[in-house]
Structure 1
Amino acid sequence: MLNWRNCLLIRHRFKMKNFVISAWACILSLLFMDAVFAQKVAFDSKADTVYISGKIGQLNAPQQLWIYMGDEKWDSIPVKDGVFSYQKVTKLPAYGAIMVKYKPYYEGVAGHTNFFGDMDLKSLFFEAGRTTIHSPNDSLKGHAIIKGSAIQQQHEDWLTKRRAISSRQRAIALRFDKATPEQLQSEDFLVAYENEMRAVEQSLDSLLRAEVKQHPHSLVTQIAFFEYMRTQEGSLDSTKALAIFELFTPLFKESAVGKNIRESIAAIGKPQEVVRTPEVGEQAPEFTQMDLNDRPITLEQFKGQYVLLDFWASWCLPCRKVNPELVGVYQQFKDQNFTVLGISLDDDKAKWKKAIEDDKLTWWQVSDLQGWGNAVAKSYGIQAIPQNFLVDPSGKIVGKNLSIAELHATLTKLSN
C-alpha cells in the first residue's frame, strides 16, 4: 500500500524559506523582525564607529544609496559617479544592509513612496573599523566585493556553504515538480524523495552545528540560528535545535535573548496531539462540514452507497496531479452506487473553488477553510495529503490510502 505519509514532506519542504524564497525576502524577513529581537542579537554590542566607503558602478542621482545598521533607521548616503563614503557611531557589531534604489524614494511624494520597490539589496554585518564595497556595475548582485570586515567574511563563507545545500534541495524539488501522476502514486518514488529531502535537512543541521561550534559567540551564527528556527517553524525538531543552541557561549545562552530563544524552541517544537487514524474494518467517524454554498453536508447522508473520502487541497501538487485520474474513476463508477466526497484543507475559498472548477471535480466538496486545522482532517488523524478512505454503505471503512489502480480494482470487484 502506498505510504502517503511521505507527501507530508511536500508541505514542509516547499515552505522552507531558507531554500525557496528569494534572497531579498529572506534578508528582509530577518532585518525587520521586531525591535525586541534586534536588541537580542546585539545583546553584547558596544558603541563604536564604523566607516563605509567604496564605488558602485557609475551610480548617480536620481538613483539612491541607502544603508541600515540594525538601529531601526535607514540612512541615505550621497553618491556621485558611484563613489560614496559614510561613517556612523552605533552599537556594533550589527546586522543590516545596503540598498541601491533605482527609482528614488521621497517620503510623501506621489509615485515615490514604495521604499522597497525597484531596488537591489545586500545584507551586511558591520563592526568597528573600515569596510569597503566595490562593484563594477550599478548593482550589488554577484559582483560586489566587500573587504575589511572579518564578521562579513564569515557571513559570506556561511552563505556559500548554505547555497550548496539549497542548490541540492532545488534540484530535488524540480524533479518532484516534473513527476508524473504514476510517479506520485509510486511508493518507491516518494520514499526516494523523502530520503533525499531528509539528507538535505541533515546536511543543513550538520552545517549549522559546525558553524556554531566554530563561532559560538558570533552575531553571524546567532542570526543563522534564528533564521533556521524561522524556516523550520511547524516542523522544528526541538531536540536537534536545543542541541545546536547549547553550543553557543554561556554568556549568550544566559542573556535575555538566549533565554527567549530557549523558550521559543520549546514553544515551536512543542509536540502536538496526534489523533489516531481510523483503520480498515472500523466505522468511519461521523462529521458535518459546509460545502461551497455554505450548506451543511454530513457523512450520514451518504449511507447506502460507497463513498471515497478524499482529503486534498488546491495547493497540494500531488493531489492536483492525481485528480484527472480520479475524475476518470468517478465517471466510470458513479452510476454503480459509488461517489466521492472531497474534504479540502484549503484556507482560501476562492482558490479552493477555482481548483474544483479547473480540475472538473463534480462530486461533493466540503471544507471549514482552516487549512491543516480542518476539523474533519483532525478527527481522521490526517498528517499528510493526499489521503483517502473508502467507506461502504454501512459506514465501515473498507479501504485506506488507495492508489488509483487499487481504487479501480476494488470498485470493479465490488460492482461484479
Structure 2
Amino acid sequence: MKKIVIFLISLLCSATIYAQKMNVLGDILASADSLAIFFYQHTDGSYQYDTVPVTQGRFTWEADIPEYQKILTTFLPSRKFLDFISENSTIYLTGRANALEVDIYGSGAEKEATLFGLEMQDLTLNIIQKWNAYSTASKTQQSAIKKEIDELNTKKSEQTAAYIREHPDSGMAANLVYQMARTEDYNTVFPLFSALSETTRKSTTGKLIAEKLEKTRKYALQASIFNFSQKDPDGNIISYEDFRGKYLLVDFWASWCAPCRAENPNILKVYNTYKDKGFEVVGISLDTDAIKWVKAIKEDHLPWPQLSDLKGYQNEIAVYYDIYAIPYSLLVSPEGKIIAKGLRGEALNKKLSELFD
C-alpha cells in the first residue's frame, strides 16, 4: 500500500483552494462487503489515505480537506481508481464498485471540471484522431497532419487560457495553471498565473505554481543561459563561454536513458550537417558511473564535448534548470539567449534548417 501512496502523490498535487470539511456518502453495488480507500492531502500538508468499511454497499467518509483538490479512491479488492473534486459539502457516490462505474453528485467543483472537459471534448477527440492518422500516413502526409495537430493544440491552449481569465477565483482554473506550469514556457504561464485572484495565488496550489515559475523563469524563451561549467571525462573544466558566438544545443542525457541513446544518432546527423556553419553541441550527463558514461560516449560515436559532475539527477546544471526528465535540450543563440527547448527528432531538424538553410 505504501508504494501505491507514493505513486499517487503526483496525481494528488493537482489543485487546492480554501479550507473545508467534506462528507462523502456512498451507496454502491458490491459483490461483498469491502473497503473504500481515499487518498488525499491532509490539512498539515502531508499525503495520506483513509480506509472506510463498505457494509452492504454503503459507507460514510468525513475528512478535513485543506483546499480544493482531487481525491482518489478505490474499492478493494479492485486496483482501479476513480477521482473526484473535493468541496465543502456532502458528496454522493453511487454505482457499481466492481466495475468502478460510479456517478458523483453534490460537488459543484466536480461539475465545473466535468463541464470544462465537455467543452474540450471535441478538440481532444479530434487531436487523438489526427495522431491515429499520423501513425499510418506517409512522410508527406505526416507533415500536413502535424501542422493540423499543432493548430488544434493552439486552439485548445487559447480556450484554456480564456477559461482561466474568466474564472480567477476557481480552483479548476488554478489547477489548469498548475498543469501548464509543469509543461509550458514561463512566458506563457506567468500572465495566466497573474490573472488569478490574489486569494487563489496565495492558496496552496498558487504557491506551488509560484515555486515552479521561479524555476522555469531561468530557462524561459529569450532568457540568458547562465555560465555553467563542469568537467569532461579527462577532467578538463569546460564552460558555456567556450561556446559563445555559436548556436549551441545543450543536450541533457545519460548512458542508462534508452530514449536518449535512441536520439543520439539524430543529434549526430544534425551536428555533422551544421557544425561548419556555427553549430555546436555539449552533452550534460546525468550519470553517476564514469565508466558507463565514457563507454556510452564511445559506443554512440559522440564527437562533441561531454560534461558531468556524476551526481545523477542532482547534476548541478540540471538542478539549476529543474530538469528531471531526459532527454531534454536547450537551444542557445550566439548571443547566449535560449531560443528553443525540448527539441528532438524532426523538430530539431526543422529548427536548425530554419536557422542555417
For the 8 Å contact 1:51–1:131, the answer to whether it is kept is yes
TM value normalised by structure 2: 0.58
For the 8 Å contact 1:316–1:385, the answer to whether it is kept is no
Alpha-carbon distance in 1 for matches of 2:29, 2:99: 7
Q: Which amino acid aligns with 1:54?
A: D
Q: Which residue of 1 aligns with 2:186?
A: 236
Secondary structure in 2 matching 1:157: helix
Per the TM alignment, residue 80 of structure 1 is displaced from its structure 2 partner at its CA by 3.7
Alpha-carbon distance in 1 for matches of 2:269, 2:201: 54
Q: Which amino acid aligns with 2:95?
A: S
* Match among 34, 41, 46 for residue 70 of structure 1: 41
Alpha-carbon distance in 2 for matches of 1:94, 1:136: 26
For the 8 Å contact 1:27–1:123, the answer to whether it is kept is no
1:119 aligns with 2:69: no
Per the TM alignment, residue 133 of structure 1 is displaced from its structure 2 partner at its CA by 1.7
Alpha-carbon distance in 2 for matches of 1:137, 1:53: 10
Alpha-carbon distance in 2 for matches of 1:167, 1:346: 38
Q: Which residue of 2 aligns with 1:148?
A: 106
Q: Which amino acid aligns with 1:220?
A: M
* Match among 41, 47, 50 for residue 23 of structure 2: 50
Alpha-carbon distance in 1 for matches of 2:293, 2:116: 38
* Residues 83-232 of structure 1: pairs in structure 2 closer than 5 A: 83-88=57-62, 90-91=64-65, 94-100=68-74, 102=76, 119-140=79-100, 143-162=101-120, 165-167=123-125, 193=146, 195-196=147-148, 198-232=150-184
Change (3 A) 1:152 1:353: farther
Per the TM alignment, residue 175 of structure 1 is displaced from its structure 2 partner at its CA by 6.8
128-137 or 344-353, which deviates more: 344-353
Per the TM alignment, residue 230 of structure 1 is displaced from its structure 2 partner at its CA by 2.0
Per the TM alignment, residue 362 of structure 1 is displaced from its structure 2 partner at its CA by 5.0
Q: Which residue of 1 aligns with 2:286?
A: 347
For the 8 Å contact 1:69–1:96, the answer to whether it is kept is yes
Change (3 A) 1:101 1:50: closer
The CA deviation string for residues 209-267 of structure 1, in whole angstroms up to 9 with x for no partner, is: 232244332222222221221232xx332xx4233234433543467875774575455
For the 8 Å contact 2:134–2:145, the answer to whether it is kept is no
Per the TM alignment, residue 324 of structure 1 is displaced from its structure 2 partner at its CA by 10
Relative contact order: is structure 1 or structure 2 higher (C-alpha 8 Å, sep ≥ 6)?
1
For the 8 Å contact 1:99–1:119, the answer to whether it is kept is no
The CA deviation string for residues 246-292 of structure 1, in whole angstroms up to 9 with x for no partner, is: 443354346787577457545523543159xxxxxxxxxxx9974xx
Per the TM alignment, residue 197 of structure 1 is displaced from its structure 2 partner at its CA by 5.7
Q: Which residue of 2 aligns with 1:273?
A: 224
Alpha-carbon distance in 2 for matches of 1:376, 1:264: 18
For the 8 Å contact 1:97–1:121, the answer to whether it is kept is no
Change (3 A) 1:58 1:355: farther
* Match among 49, 54, 59 for residue 79 of structure 1: 54
Change (3 A) 1:57 1:257: closer
Alpha-carbon distance in 1 for matches of 2:205, 2:105: 30
Secondary structure in 2 matching 1:231: coil
Q: Which amino acid aligns with 1:99?
A: T
For the 8 Å contact 1:65–1:98, the answer to whether it is kept is no
Per the TM alignment, residue 76 of structure 1 is displaced from its structure 2 partner at its CA by 0.6
* Match among 248, 254, 269 for residue 196 of structure 2: 248
Q: Which amino acid aligns with 2:28?
A: K
Per the TM alignment, residue 366 of structure 1 is displaced from its structure 2 partner at its CA by 5.0
Aligned residues: CA RMSD: 5.3
For the 8 Å contact 1:342–1:363, the answer to whether it is kept is no
Gaps of 5+ in 2: 239-247, 274-279, 309-314, 322-327
373-382 or 311-320, which deviates more: 373-382
366-375 or 220-229, which deviates more: 366-375
The CA deviation string for residues 165-200 of structure 1, in whole angstroms up to 9 with x for no partner, is: 5555556666777788xx5xx9x976974x456434
Q: Which residue of 1 aligns with 2:12?
A: 31
For the 8 Å contact 2:28–2:97, the answer to whether it is kept is no
For the 8 Å contact 1:311–1:386, the answer to whether it is kept is no
Gaps of 5+ in 1: 1-23, 104-117, 276-286, 300-308, 331-340, 388-399, 407-416
Per the TM alignment, residue 351 of structure 1 is displaced from its structure 2 partner at its CA by 8.4
Alpha-carbon distance in 2 for matches of 1:171, 1:355: 39
Residues matched between the structures, number: 294
Secondary structure in 2 matching 1:120: coil
